[in-house]
Structure 1
Amino acid sequence: HSGTRPFLCGDCGKSFSCSFFLSQHRHVHTGEKPYQCGECGWRFMKSSHYKSHLRMHTGERPYTCIDCGKSFSRSSTLTKHHRIHT
């Protein structure tokens, strides 16, 4: 992890450490949403958002609170939940 970000967006100048992140970023400028949910048809720019959305349909809740055992489908929701224990 050298901290270099050689992959540069030609539209806005934002730089990235790898070409994959640059290719995902390009969707911001094109509006392309290549990931489509087979259940409901919603479309997403990022694969991570698509995968997170799929858990809504499957009921998967992989993020569990170590204090009370409550589980969540998104890590950000678990992070917010942790505040009730402090």
Structure 2
Amino acid sequence: PYECGECGRRCTDSSNLLIPLRVHTGERPYECLECGKSFKHSSTLLAHKKIHSRERPYDCPECGKRFQTSSALLR
């Protein structure tokens, strides 16, 4: 088991300690090449990139309007 020295969070894999460490240090290693905004997680960067591509893969079956995220569709 691995433990974060800042908050005491325990992980079975040392790579999982990167998550709390980035919270404590403010590190944001994933940067958008379009606008320069940076993120803690690669998945958040991928979701952000949809803003620039204008991709709207989620269609509302009731009104036909399209959304960038499934959470926006549900609203």
> How high is the TM-score relative to the length of structure 1?
0.65
- How many Å apart are 1:36 and its aligned residue? 0.6
Q: Which structure 1 residue ranges, 4+ long, deviate > 4 Å from structure 2? A: 15-21
SS at match of 2:62: coil
> How high is the TM-score relative to the length of structure 2?
0.73
Match of 1:27 in 2: 22
For 2:59 and 2:13, the matched residues in 1 are separated by 31
Pair 1:8–1:60, CA change in 2 (3 A) = farther
- Percent sequence identity is 47
For 1:66 and 1:21, the matched residues in 2 are separated by 39
- 1:72 matched to 2:28? The reply is no
Match of 1:58 in 2: 53
Match of 1:47 in 2: 42
- How many Å apart are 1:33 and its aligned residue? 0.6
- How many Å apart are 1:50 and its aligned residue? 0.8
SS at match of 2:22: helix
Deviations 1:51-83 (A, max 9, x none): 111000001112233333322112221222xxx
For 2:39 and 2:69, the matched residues in 1 are separated by 16
Letter of the structure 2 residue corresponding to residue 49 of structure 1: T
Pair 1:20–1:77, CA change in 2 (3 A) = farther
For 2:64 and 2:10, the matched residues in 1 are separated by 40
Q: CA RMSD in A?
A: 2.4
> Across the two proteins, how many residue pairs are aligned to each other?
75
Letter of the structure 1 residue corresponding to residue 27 of structure 2: E
